[in-house]
Chain A
Amino acid sequence: MEKTAIYPFTAIVGQEPMKKALILNVINPTLGGVLIRGEKGTAKSTAVRAVADLLPEMDQIEGCIFSCDPEDKSKMCEVCLEKVEKGIKLKIVKKKMKVVELPVSATEDRVVGTLDIEHAIKKGEKKFEPGILARANRNILYVDEVNLLDDHVVDVILDSAAMGVNTIEREGVSYSHPARFVLVGTMNPEEGDLRPQLLDRFGLVVDVTGEKKPEDRVEIIKRRLNFETDPHGFGKNFEPLQRELRQKIIEARKRLSGVKYSDKILELIAKICVTMGVDGHRADITMLKTAITIAAFKKKNEIAPQDVIEAAHLVLPHRMRKKPFEKGVLDFSKVEEIANEFAV
């Protein structure tokens, strides 16, 4: 099957916060994904597909449905781990990150996996048939209209996302496998909200709107038309930009583990979270990780307060508790106030 051309990430006009959130997540997949809130036709799914295409290939164990990383024993599936421990040489293939899509109509058994019917009939044995979560391991799980999904399906997805493991005890099968993925959800808030507990599980959130400036809008149309008439030629034009960004991402990944942060930065983060009154500690952790990733992307080796503020913009909006007749919008002046005090 010939691969359909994918719109280049760097050719997307505007939508900077969304692009930033996606890039940060692919640099550091432990950020916990991103929820994109906004109206239709704002390049949400184009951007998700494009970001996966932008990435360099990664090593995978050949034939492993979970795309196991040959380097990381702590996150391997049972089969691969057994092989490694027995000293069996594993074949390694290079593959790009996939975008695994979860349709709104998905049923729980398709998501978590189920009993392999064919195998059972033919062989009379029980075998686990992997579901969407299995395929999503080390890839991007894209859930369009996440707010319209059945509640219990969302529950199991987020449970796996939080644990990095999918445990199945159903329909005669008992199985566990790694399920670490970059979760990207989209929703149109007009069609109903997500429960706060589910919101909290998304690391970052961005609100997107259509570009307002006429010249930007014209540019969007132009590029789209060009892409449709000649996708390959269009892709070629953007190749230098693509290569540059790809290189930046690769470098940021390398730099990630070396980014330092002072005690004062930790204090700043804790203060912001306490002042803003978020529930629990997930916001702190995500804010720090995001700030680290931002710093790495900026080719820096240490977090600056500005990085924390930037991170706060992505981490806090969906974690604020909304009160009646108050806008759920985050009052950023407070965050900046804290940061200013901090600078003094």
Chain B
Amino acid sequence: MNLLFKKFVYPFSAVVGQKKLKTAVILNLINPSIGGVLISGEKGTAKSTLVRGLVALVPELDIIEVPLNITEDRLIGTIDIEKAITTGKRYFEPGLLAKAHGNVLYVDEVNLLSDNIVNCLLDVCQSGVNKVEREGISYTHEARFVLIGTMNPEEGMLSTQFLDRFGMYVKTEGCNDISERKEILRRRMEYETNPQRFIARYEAEAKKLQHEIAIAAKLLETIEVDDSIMRLAADIATQKNCAGHRADIIMVEAAKALAAWRQRKHVTIKDVIEVAEFVLPHRAREMSNAEWGQTGREEGDHEKNKNNREEKGKALPDESDAKNENYNSRQSKTTACPETGNSAGNTKKEETSRAKNGRADDTEQFLDNINKDNVQQPESIFKVIPINVSPIDRIKRKGSGKRTSTKSETPRGRYVRYRFPVDRPKDIAFDATLRAAAPYQNTRDRRGNAVAIEKQDFREKVREKRVGNIILFVVDASGSMGARERMKVTKGAILSLLNDAYQKRDMVGMVAFRKNKAEVLLNITRSVDLAMKCLKDLPTGGRTPLSAGLLVGYEILKARKIKDPEMVPLFVLVSDGRANVSLSGDDPVKEAKEIAARIAAEKMNPLVIDTEDEFLSLGIAKEVADAMGARYYKINDLKAGNIEHIVREMSNSR
């Protein structure tokens, strides 16, 4: 970080609350083998402030910040242009990874980083070595660092691979305690009025903390770990279904750091359990992505478990049995009601009580439901089977080399690396061109300039766009969907699809229709998290304006296609097909089919999920699907875990 800005950072110890986050960060400073921490939380919860505050806390460590605008050459290092021009020789110019060695590498908004940069980072994190083979440079250097990232889960998730590289995971939340909120306000204002004075006030506290960390770091080497402790770590990791052995190892390393922090020589069971909540949440495999937003709750449960355990005494064998039970019960809890942690705010209770009403499976209530609003919570999320939607896109790009060149003509997207131009260079990567030309300058006629560039030096920019597919959900929220808990199943199905979109970096949008209109709940966005929130709060009730829903969906995707012709859209209609409101006053079903035909003409890759009850079937959804040229599935087909099959079928056919 720039020296200038270091002087005035908000002090680490002046951050109010966020105890868990502070602990996680401190443990990493004590023991860098923990492998860093990923901080996830809503906007405005002091994520970045805390990390940046480290600068002043650990003067001997440098915080190397990776800005979002980074290009590959600056991350891994490249040829030193200036030296190449003057000497004609190739020297290595170190990038951020070289600077980060032995320090902290900090990525703000890590989930917004370009894929290419993420891949570079992953590679280095895995090996601890940065191997540079580019532009005639062959250079290898060590690159071990504490990786700290912050992210807002609403903006999209990280790949599981990348998640695994972070030793720990902490979720931050804003606090709702009035007096604490006041204190946050007070301190912030004080800091802004006079940063120097404010920093000076926390100087003593910072020094003390610094000292304690230094002592703990020294103590770390002497910490003893019993076999039983390792067993416990291994048991916990197995219980939570963590892939590989990293979780076990990190848990032990973290527990060591915690013991050192508490100035003890032995790691206790309590230590392991305490650090487990940092090490496991992003690794535990049975926890589906949909539950990411709920880790706060999960941690809450953990507290309870911990307390239970403490009461149970110290005998190890019993301990691990008890633990199994606890973990099991927790698993079932979290999968059965993934909605509980939903931060919907004050109205949540009211909604759930309404939802309960809606759940009563009663024919009388069927009619009631049609006109009354109710919010049904989604059924448990299906076992997540990878739905390969995005490869469609990739096949297209790789498979037809001719088409790629037309695509690169739009100089939009983020410049991440360069390539050799196929034809005449269009979007010139000047830095790369310069690097290519630099070593040959001594032998060229430079005509008074320092650099002469020749045809063979030209390099082109490779730009990256962040998105895979666009999946637009058009969801029937009419009263008939609310009956017999159908909406529960439907929400579960959509959540499963969203879940997959999460990992595939697809963009999603959502339209719902009920009463007499269709509403865009969510414009096309990368935030699957938002889509999930939207869906969970979606009430049902009223009549079924199917054609309005289809039309709105059609318009959104069509507009998007114009803006972004490379996009592969996916139109997903979720409905029982019982259209009874039309836009024009014509027959609603006929009108729906007409619009469906338009969707068919635009090749929007439609998919219809029919939620109609088997024995009262009218089969309208099927008819609409045919008019749309859509693939058609009954909701129960989806439930049987056939999603994988369905989507494979879809991608093959294109």
Residues of A within 8 A of B (CB): 30, 74, 76, 78, 81, 107-109, 112, 115, 117, 120-126, 150-152, 155-156, 159, 162-163, 165, 167-174, 176, 192-193, 195-197, 200-201, 257, 263, 266-267, 269-271, 273-275, 277-285, 288-289, 321, 323-325
Contact B43 A197 (CB under 8 A): yes
Further contacts, 7 of them, CB under 8 A, given A76-B4, A156-B67, A289-B189: A74-B7, A107-B412, A152-B414, A168-B67, A172-B434, A176-B4, A269-B185
Which listed segment binds A: B232-240, B243-251, B521-529? B521-529
B8 within 8 A of A: yes
Name the distance in Å between B61's Cβ and chain A's nearest Cβ: 18
Task: Tell whether, in the assembled complex, residue B430 and residue A115 are in contact, meaning their CB atoms are under 8 Å apart.
Answer: yes
A280 engages B74 (CB within 8 Å): no
Q: Interface extent on B, as a size class?
A: 35 or more
Whole-angstrom distance between the Cβ of B187 and the nearest chain A Cβ: 10
B597 at the interface (CB under 8 A from A): no
Which residues of chain B have C-beta atoms less than 8 A from A121's C-beta? 449-451, 453
Bound-complex Cα distance A123 to B81 (A): 11
Interchain CB contact under 8 A, B415 and A109? yes
Least distance between B615 CB and chain A CB atoms (Å): 30
B74, A169: Cβ atoms closer than 8 Å = yes
Beta-carbon contact of A155 and B4 below 8 Å: no
Q: How far is the CB of A116 from chain B (nearest CB, A)?
A: 10
A267 to B181, CA, bound (A): 8
Instruction: Give complex CA distance A181, B152 in Å.
Output: 24
Q: Is the CB of B538 within 8 A of A324?
A: yes
Give the distance in Å from the alpha carbon of A325 to the alpha carbon of B510 in the complex: 12
Q: A115-B431, A270-B181, A324-B539 are in contact. Are A277 and B86 (CB under 8 A)?
A: no
Neighbouring B residues of A168 by C-beta, 8 Å: 67, 69
Shortest Cβ distance from residue A253 to the other chain B in the assembled complex, whole angstroms: 14
Q: B22 to chain A: closest CB distance in Å?
A: 16
Q: Report whether over half of chain B's contact residues are helix, strand or loop; otherwise say mixed.
A: mixed
- Within 131-157 of B, Cβ neighbours of A (below 8 Å) are at 152, 154-155
Are the C-beta atoms of A280 and B70 separated by less than 8 Å?
Answer: no
Chain A residues positioned under 8 Å from B45 (CB to CB)? 279-281
Residues of B within 8 A of A271 (CB): 178
Q: Which residue of A lies closest to B99 (CB)?
A: A174
Contact A195 B527 (CB under 8 A): yes
Residues of chain A contacted by B152 (CB below 8 angstroms): 197
B512-532 Cβ-contact flags toward A at 8 Å (1 or 0): 101000010101111100100
Given A78-B4, A169-B66, answer yes or no on A126-B82 (Cβ-Cβ < 8 Å). yes
- Which residues of chain B are near A152, meaning CB under 8 Å? 68, 112, 114, 413-414, 466
**Most chain B beta-carbon contacts within 10 A, residue among A109, A152, A277, A278:** A152
A281 to B187, alpha carbons, bound, how many Å?
12
Check A324–B519 contact: CB distance below 8 A: yes
For the complex, give the distance between the alpha carbons of A129 and B602 in Å.
45
Sample 6 A-B pairs with CB under 8 A, ordered by A number. A108-B69, A152-B114, A172-B431, A266-B182, A280-B42, A285-B189
Question: Which of A108, A170, A284, A323 is within 8 Å of B184, CB to CB?
Answer: A284
B62 in the interface, Cβ–Cβ < 8 Å?
A: no
- B47, closest chain A residue (CB): A280
Contact A169 B71 (CB under 8 A): yes
Minimum C-beta distance from A66 to chain B (A): 12
Q: Which of B8, B43, B65, B533 contacts A282 (CB 8 A)?
A: B43
Interface check B435, CB cutoff 8 A: yes
Interfacial chain A residues near B68, Cβ < 8 Å:
152, 155-156, 159
**Interface: B188 (CB within 8 A):** yes
Q: How far is the CA of A156 from the CA of B112 in the complex (A)?
A: 10
The 8 Å CB contact of B67, one of A151, A169, A196, A280, is A169
> A107–B69 contact, CB under 8 A?
no
Interchain residue pairs A-B with the least CB separation, the first 7: A280-B44, A124-B450, A282-B44, A270-B181, A277-B345, A171-B431, A176-B2
- Complex formed: what's the CA distance from A201 to B155 in Å? 14
Contact partners of A273 in chain B: CB under 8 A: 181
Q: How far is the CB of A70 from chain B (nearest CB, A)?
A: 16
A320 to B5, CA, bound (A): 33
Cβ of A288 and Cβ of B185 under 8 Å apart? Answer: yes
Give every chain A residue within 8 A of B66 (Cβ-Cβ): 169
Query: Closest CB of chain B to A21's CB: distance in Å?
Result: 20
In the complex, the answer to whether A285 meets B451 with C-beta atoms within 8 Å is no
B86 CB contacts on chain A under 8 angstroms: 124
Asked whether B392 is an interface residue with its Cβ less than 8 Å from the other chain, the reply is no
Interface pair B449/A197, CB less than 8 Å apart: no
Contact B193 A257 (CB under 8 A): yes
Given A126-B82, A170-B415: A281 and B184 within 8 A (CB)? Answer: yes
Is B337 an interface residue, CB under 8 A from the partner? no
Of A124, A200, A267, the contact of B451 (CB 8 Å cutoff): A124
Chain A residues, Cβ within 8 Å of B46: 281
Inter-chain contact A197/B414, CB cutoff 8 Å: no
The reply to whether the CB of B391 lies closer than 8 angstroms to some CB of chain A is no
Q: How far is the CA of A282 from the CA of B533 in the complex (A)?
A: 21
Q: How far is the CA of A14 from the CA of B66 in the complex (A)?
A: 45
CB-CB < 8 A to B186: which residues of A?
Answer: 266
User: Per-position contact with A for B638-650: 1 when CB-CB < 8 Å, else 0?
Assistant: 0000000000000
B71: nearest residue on chain A (CB-CB)? A170
